Amino acid sequence: MCGALAAAACFVSLNLLLVITGTGIVVIYAALSLAVIVGRHKKNTSHAPYRMPLFPLWPAIGLLAMVYVLYANFLDEAIGRPSLWATFAIIVLSTAYYFFVLRRKGQWQLRGPDSKELM
27 Cβ neighbours under 8 A, 6+ residues apart: 66, 70, 87, 91
Domain assignment of residue 67, yes or no: yes
Which range is least confidently modeled, 5-19, 71-85, 89-103?
Answer: 5-19
For residue 118, pLDDT beyond 70: no
- Spatial CA neighbour of 30 closest among 40, 19, 22: 22
Per-residue pLDDT, 115: 64
Domain assignment of residue 86, yes or no: yes
The answer to whether 73 touches 84, Cβ cutoff 8 Å, is yes
| Domains held by the chain: number | 1
Query: Could you list the residue range(s) of the whole structural domain that residue 31 is in?
Result: 15-44+52-105
Please state the rounded mean pLDDT for residues 73-99. Answer: 90
CA distance 91 to 86: 9
CA distance 6 to 14: 13
Domain assignment of residue 95, yes or no: yes
Burial class (CB in 10 A: 0-12, 13-18, 19+), 98: exposed
Domain assignment of residue 58, yes or no: yes
Domain assignment of residue 36, yes or no: yes
Domain assignment of residue 118, yes or no: no
Per-residue pLDDT, 71: 94
Domain assignment of residue 83, yes or no: yes
Domain assignment of residue 89, yes or no: yes
